[in-house]
Amino acid sequence: MDTDGQNANTTTGRHIGVIVNPERTEVSDEVVERLRSLGCRVTTAQPDSADGLGDEVRRLVDQGVDAIAAVGGDGTQRTAAAVLLDGDVPLAVIPGGTVNLLAQVLGVDELERAVAAAAAGDTRRIDVGMIDGDGDLEVFVLNASSGWDAAVIEHVDDAAKRFGQLGYAGTGLVQWFKSEPRPVTIEVDGRTWYDGPALTVLVMNVGERGSESLHLASDAEFDDGRLDVIVLRRHSAIGFARSAWSILRGRPPPTADVITAQGAEIVVTWADEVSVQRDGDESAPAICVRYRAGPGRLAVMVPSTAS
């Protein structure tokens, strides 16, 4: 634990706990320097491995920090968010990963804006998604999926990640040719909504997937208390291209290819075991995945609207 910021500063600014993913240290020194230049008192923590991120966030909260500035990608943000649920300490997102979708959605994808929001931004409460499985509860802030989309996350390697979204796209194409539709039943708020073949099922807390420009769920909102479920029904190259073209133009895809719904509780049951992911991190393969919305359970820092 590095507490140099407490000794070096005599300001009365906010106390910011900076948690750094050990695989994403490139920007951490700059983040600390910028926060101090804005009058913040800074305490940093960097575990030896990503498995220790949650414990370090808890230690920073116990020290009485005013906000947690998490430096890393969407997986790091999700880990910090899981600790901060229902609390008064907000999450300040500092982009440092491959995609940084949460930072894009919150308008803090540029380092200067992210640090400014951590130091003196506005606090907003947003929903989270939750996955119930085998007695454990997993949190996601952006999206979760099962089937083909999750298989992409499972199989993307470090070499592909170096190419960013292009690397994910290449892995996705490979998995596309290896995948085929499987029977799935989906319940939305206690009623069977879909029963048929599907290639993948996405459950979204926000409308974007992979990039701010790729808006899959047009009605999704961060604070509407609902999750959006999207089913890619067919394994057709023409259908996939047609749906992608519609989405890129801001139009709903043909219902023959993609269907959507909203609900507070969603149960996805496949005929056999499939890949599962949440916020870009793979979960254990499963047959049945239960999702529910967590309305307003996370406080986040966003750019100030004050003039």
CA distance 291 to 121: 31
The closest of 209, 204, 200, 183 to 269, measured between CA atoms, is 183
User: Which is more confident, 198 or 254?
Assistant: 198
Q: What is the pLDDT of residue 241?
A: 54
- Kindly report the CATH number that applies to the domain delimited by 4-120: 3.40.50.10330
Position of tokens 């906010």?
14
pLDDT at 22 (0 to 100) = 84
Provide, rounded to the nearest whole percent, the portion of the chain with pLDDT above 70. 74
Q: Within a 13 Å sphere around the CA of 259, how many CA atoms are in the beta-carbon half?
A: 13
Q: Under CATH, to which class is 131-294 assigned?
A: mainly beta
Contact 270, 182 (CB under 8 A): yes
What's the CA gap between 146 and 150, in Å, rounded? 5
In the numeric block, the tokens 């020290």 are attached to 63
Q: Is 63 within 8 Å of 275 (Cβ atoms)?
A: no
Higher pLDDT, residue 305 or 161: 305
Taking residue 252's Cβ as centre, other Cβ atoms within 10 Å add up to 12
pTM exceeds 0.85 for this model: no
pLDDT at residue 111 in the model:
93
- HSE-up (13 A, CA, CB side) for residue 203: 30
Average pLDDT over residues 260-278: 94
Torsion of CA 194, 200, 204, 206, to 10 degrees: -130
Of the pLDDT bands very low, low, confident and very high (cuts 50, 70, 90), residue 213 is: low
On the CB side of 22, CA atoms within 13 Å amount to: 10
One fold for 4-120 and 131-294: no
The ranges assigned to domains in the chain are 4-120, 131-294
